[in-house]
Chains A and B, each alone.
Chain A
């Protein structure tokens, strides 16, 4: 005989329920542990890796999952296997009146080799009686699951926020932005929802001569400003559409959506600034980003004339040579001359356009022209400005033309020096004296030759005139001698032998005699001539010979003066050819700073305290938050994340073009279904000044 069926069923029910509670505890503890472990891994892993590998996020998730599984297994093993005996004992504990009758019965039932008498079994069955186990089981479940469930549920709910928190902490402390996730091809599967599979047709302005494009299911359109954009969808209901500028603070406008047979369509022109068109249909909504491309103005270079110039006369032909190129096509190219005349506040200017060529949309053009200066009736001081101008095919007259750099030709004013004036240096004093003495000698020789053919008065007058010149030259030589002796420019008239100081020379009846015995500067220790005396001795001879020549000329005896003048000339030439002595300067004394060379000096290596980089500006901070949110969104909903990135890119084009370019790369990766971690990291680093830190303590040199 066995335990009656109702009692056995109760024990089985308790056994099953207790096992379920045990598994529930394990799962709850495991989930809570996984979330916490992922959070901690996200915090700690970046610290362990100097270079941030792309799979770091995956590693953090795996670690968290492994920790959760481990804790779950541990929890489950800790509870042990719930056998029937344990279930019976659990019931005995709740119903003490059974006095272990149920446990005994269960044990005997499990161990069939041990037989008991039928009376004993009946007593035991009677002792067990009927059991109501639902209430104890409920209480037990609440008691055992309360803690793990209360722990796991909030953690699961806020797991995403915890990841964001971990990343923010890592970013702030490590100055490294890491967003780790991978967009797999399977996760790019399109959601089956409304507003999918629309078609966008872009018709560029007619002047651009560009072809219309059809874009299937595009979320973003980049086109020339003024292009007509036609959006058509296959939804049976009409969506609403709102156009909002992402740059200007212009109020949103509703876009008219019209029915087109079984589908709908909406049309608009590409605005001048980026804009977003948000379509909404019931619970679905979708954006179309409009990225305007401006028509660039032509780029023009004036290759000739090469540089500005000043012309002495308004003569000649000026050749002009220029090139221009444009993205959409050139319409007109020409040269412009602006001639300005006048000075002060009275200026007149006239503009001349010439060399114009009308083109039919060529992208590149090289053209030449020339003008004749003679015919322009330019006056001194007039200025001619030259530049090349090119206009593209944009129909708006206000559209800016392209212009080259300006060259300027100026007509020089009268008396204006337009070249460097170099004043020739005067000949050295000795050279001058030489020439003068030779000239005086020639004149004296001529006078001596004419002596018999001229009157006495003429002879006396001319001879005295030569004497006067000879005296002047003698004084010049005397000045030179005194200058060399004493370093001062003083003639013999300012000195005398008895003026109380030694000149190195003395006057003797108008002639100079060196005082070698007393002139210490002129002699060396052994009594020989010093270099100064050696150089000046011929000059002294010349000085004295000139004295004699002047005396002879003064009394109208030019023939007698010739011999003295020749002596003077020879003496000057000797002085000119005297040996020069060049004294070398003291060689430099260089003491090598050994410590400095060996980099072992006093420098401590301590530099000025480093200031943390500036925090993000509010705009950059907002962009960062949006970038992070978009990055996290990519892990759950690729399309939504892609839209967020695209919108952020569009809004950043004007103010943060580098960020916009990086986001464009990220979007390309998302579309391919690859790993966007690296490009998103790059994008984030382009925000603001890059690395941020609240204090230097957290700076880790990366």
Chain B
């Protein structure tokens, strides 16, 4: 695990991509996503970025060091009281929690359980409008969130999910929830990115830029 850089040392600390580790479910179902997102950040931006992501226990206050926290899984999830407490504080303090359903279907076990948990901790999510600044914070996505190949191939619920859902705090996204299965879409070794005609991790750059600048 890479050591979390210390801030306030006078030198701009590089951005470190953090994956949330929670007690229930399978938090590590998409192990290659962090490397791929880091690759995209390095490829398209001048943001100083750590070459390796970190895994942060959700019940730990270490999450407060990361402006963006990635959480995914297939299995039903129930956050512990401590995890719930830290998540609420994290969003309250300005962090962006990005939760992606690795199942990509509306009624999957992760979706059902995590939406309940989000409602319990943060309240009811709203649809994020497709002209939200998240979709133009770096790359422009005119039609909102980019569709994944899993959606287009009719897997999961055979739907293209038109919107992402979010919990907004002070007009800023605190929790961003996706059941488009970006975790599957981005879970490949970055070296294989050269085989894609269009890099499908570009939306991850928008996420990071939004988390760092808004």
Contacts and interface: CB of A to CB of B under 8 A. Distances in A.
Interface of A: 587-594, 597-598
Nearest to B28: A587
Interface stretch (B36-44, B57-65, B132-140, B151-159): B36-44
Contacts of B31: 587-588
Given A597-B43, A598-B42, A598-B43, A592 B35 contact: yes
9 contacts: A587-B28, A588-B32, A588-B189, A592-B35, A592-B39, A592-B42, A593-B51, A594-B49, A598-B42
B35 A597 contact: no
A590 B190 contact: yes
B46 to A, nearest CB: 8
Most A CB within 10 A of own CB, among B28, B35, B42: B42
Contacts of B38: 592, 594
Interface residues of B, number: 14
Given A597-B42, A598-B42, A592 B32 contact: no
Contacts of B28: 587
Contact of B52 (A587, A592, A597, A598): A592
A588 B38 CA distance: 15
Given A591-B35, A591-B51, A593-B51, 14 more contacts: A587-B28, A587-B31, A588-B31, A589-B52, A590-B32, A590-B34, A590-B189, A592-B38, A592-B42, A592-B52, A594-B38, A597-B39, A597-B42, A597-B190
Contacts of A598: 42-43
Most B CB within 10 A of own CB, among A588, A589, A593, A594: A594
Contacts of A587: 28, 31
Contacts of A594: 38, 42, 49, 51
A581 to B, nearest CB: 15
A598 to B, nearest CB: 5
A590 B30 CA distance: 12
Contacts of B34: 590
Interface string B143-186: 00000000000000000000000000000000000000000000
A231 B147 CA distance: 76
A587 B53 CA distance: 13
A591 B49 CA distance: 12
Contacts of B39: 592, 597
Interface of B: 28, 31-32, 34-35, 38-39, 42-43, 49, 51-52, 189-190
A468 B51 CA distance: 67
B76 to A, nearest CB: 18
A626 B32 CA distance: 65
The 10 A-B pairs at the shortest CB distance, nearest first, are namely A587-B31, A590-B35, A597-B42, A592-B38, A594-B42, A591-B52, A592-B51, A592-B39, A591-B51, A597-B43
Contacts of A597: 39, 42-43, 190
B112 to A, nearest CB: 23
B30 to A, nearest CB: 9
Contacts of A590: 32, 34-35, 52, 189-190
A582 to B, nearest CB: 13
A588 B30 CA distance: 10
A588 B32 CA distance: 7
A399 to B, nearest CB: 53
Contacts of A589: 52
B2 to A, nearest CB: 9
A212 B94 CA distance: 93
Nearest to A599: B43
Contacts of B52: 589-592
Contacts of B51: 591-594
A254 to B, nearest CB: 69
A591 B35 CA distance: 7
A586 to B, nearest CB: 9
Nearest to A586: B31
Contacts of A593: 51
Contacts of B32: 588, 590
Contacts of A588: 31-32, 189
A597 B189 CA distance: 13
Contacts of B35: 590-592
A594 B32 CA distance: 16
Most B CB within 10 A of own CB, among A588, A589, A590, A594: A590
Nearest to B37: A592
B157 to A, nearest CB: 26
Nearest to A589: B52
A597 B49 CA distance: 12
A588 B188 CA distance: 11
A590 B52 CA distance: 7
B27 to A, nearest CB: 11
B45 to A, nearest CB: 10
B52 to A, nearest CB: 5
A594 B39 CA distance: 7
A649 B38 CA distance: 61
A592 B190 CA distance: 8
Nearest to B45: A598
A619 to B, nearest CB: 45
Nearest to A596: B42
Nearest to B191: A590
A218 to B, nearest CB: 55
A469 B34 CA distance: 59
B69 to A, nearest CB: 18
Nearest to B26: A584
A282 to B, nearest CB: 73
Contacts of B189: 588, 590
Nearest to A594: B42
Contacts of A592: 35, 38-39, 42, 51-52, 190
A258 B35 CA distance: 90
A680 to B, nearest CB: 42
B102 to A, nearest CB: 14
A416 to B, nearest CB: 43
A615 to B, nearest CB: 39
A73 B51 CA distance: 75
B20 to A, nearest CB: 15
A587 B52 CA distance: 14
Nearest to B52: A591
Most B CB within 10 A of own CB, among A591, A592, A593, A597: A592
Contacts of A591: 35, 51-52
A598 B28 CA distance: 28
A591 B189 CA distance: 10
A346 to B, nearest CB: 55
A594 B190 CA distance: 11
B174 to A, nearest CB: 28
A137 to B, nearest CB: 85
A84 B118 CA distance: 115
A589 B2 CA distance: 11
A592 B52 CA distance: 6
Contacts of B43: 597-598
Nearest to B190: A592
B186 to A, nearest CB: 12
A45 B152 CA distance: 59
B201 to A, nearest CB: 12
B128 to A, nearest CB: 28
A551 to B, nearest CB: 49
A421 B38 CA distance: 50
Most A CB within 10 A of own CB, among B28, B31, B189: B31
Contacts of B42: 592, 594, 597-598
A590 B37 CA distance: 11
A585 to B, nearest CB: 10
A589 B35 CA distance: 9
